[in-house]
Amino acid sequence: MALQPVRGTHDLLPDEAAIHRHVEQTAFAVAKRYGFGEIVTPIFEFTEVFSRTLGETSDVVTKEMYTFEDRSGDSVTLRPEGTAGVARAFISGGLAQSLPLKLFYRGPMFRHERPQKGRLRQFHQVGVELLGVDSPLADIEVLALGWRFLSELGLADKVALEINTLGDADSRAAYRHTLTAFLSQYRNDLSEDSRNRLERNPLRVLDSKDETDKRIVAGAPSMADSLTEQARAFFDTVKVGLDKLGIPYAVNPRLVRGLDYYCHTAFEFVTTQLGAQGTVLAGGRYDGLIGQMGGPATPGIGWAAGVERLSMLVESRPEADRPVAVIPFGQDLAAFQLADTLRSAGITVQMGYTGNLKKRLERANKANARFAVMLGEDEMSRGCVTIKDLDAGAQREAPMTEVVSLLQGKI
């Protein structure tokens, strides 16, 4: 059997890796402008970090996590998402005295899902978390950051922002009662998953992908009817803030987060260009998360975005540096010396190792080189090189000592 990548994993070859890097670097550059600093958490955590935050009965915990015992007998899990690790770092790092905290993260995540377009078992995310601010202004800032990031990727006309409010604790309790009463009328018609969720977490029924469930849910009461005055005012402020910033949005009353630590704003940026995998960036407010994990009560809001999905949408590819091709003929060590000098001056260099001049120039053109610098015995005896402009086709001799100054600023 020939060696293949594990199902649901994917090699990023240079061209594709460049797009991924462009997405990540754009996210980081925008996050820095908004005052976010980078945090790097481990790729694996104790399993409890995720089972306590994602919910013991969630699909991620029960079906999708890569969990194993290490050699010490501890149960550890490859991270399926980024927020739980950031929250754990906040608690274990004793960062409560540093609030507010604005954190950016990026890196691979792992879920044992059925691989399909835009969804892999090892995938990559970028994300932000804003901890310690309970004002709707934090929600507006995090949403604006997401919109700015997608806009700078050139995706403003390819995505749509959907928002909803999950209300405060009193709103959710009232809505849970109302929703349970409504769904109980259709208990026998609901899917098995939704019947189970009806007892434990009825809000998750609203997110069911089962077609019968969707038809039932279409007639369900809206969270808006259960909002307290304070929760309604909070959501109104978020909407006014988006209006003032010129960020288009639509209210989607079926957009929910099932776990109890979520509250107030939930949002998704969605696209119609990736088939079923339409969500490219999603997030919400989770004021109860850190307290549920055993830390101090700390408000928080954030989002995560899938790098693979965004890479599929990005049309403007980042421009790679145009190298200089150094082509030696019997002067290999001198060529390496020259290449090292050019690289020290910040110039990207490709070495033309083998083949006749025609072949080496063909490879230089394939690498999109701007100039070729050729060294032969004749040139070396006179202390010079031949520089060929591969765009214009013209070439000239130049003293070895002037090569750097001639090429700098022209690449």
Query: Looking at residue 60, what DSSP letter applies?
Result: I
Question: Is residue 1, in this structure, part of any structural domain at all?
Answer: no
Q: How large is the average pLDDT for residues 256-276?
A: 86
Residue ending a domain, choose from 286, 313, 340:
313
pLDDT tens-digit map of 379-411:
888 889 999 999 999 999 999 889 999 898 776
Mean pLDDT over all residues of the chain? Answer: 90
Asked if 120 and 8 touch (Cβ cutoff 8 Å), the reply is yes
DSSP state at residue 266: E
Local confidence band at 229 (pLDDT 50, 70, 90 cut-offs): very high
Whether residues 42 and 100 share a domain: the answer is yes
Domain extent, residue 34, equals 14-168+228-313
Q: How many domains does the chain have?
A: 2
Examine residue 188 and state whether it is found in any structural domain, yes or no. no
- 95 within domain boundaries: yes
Q: Which of 289, 285, 296 is nearest to 93 (CA)?
A: 296
Q: The whole model's pTM is what?
A: 0.88
Cis (ω within 30 of 0) for the bond into 248?
Answer: no
b/e sequence 73-100, b meaning 16+ C-beta within 10 Å: eeebbbbbbbbbbbbbbbbeeebbeeee
Chosen domain end from 270, 288, 313: 313
**Same domain as 370, residue 253:** no
Alpha helices (runs of H) in 121-228, residue ranges in sequence order:
136-152, 169-184, 192-200, 211-217
Average pLDDT for 68-96: 95
High-pLDDT (> 70) share of the chain, %: 96
- For 5-57, the pLDDT digits (tens) are 999 999 999 889 999 999 999 999 999 999 999 999 999 999 999 887 776 65
**CATH classification of the domain holding 24:** 3.30.930.10
Q: Are 114 and 137 members of one domain?
A: yes
Residue 64 forms part of a structural domain: yes
Which of 313, 338, 366 is the C-terminal boundary of a domain?
313
Average pLDDT over residues 170-181: 90
Instruction: Please report whether residue 193 resides in a domain.
Output: no
Q: Is the pLDDT of residue 256 over 90?
A: no
In the predicted structure, residue 157 carries a pLDDT above the cut 90: yes
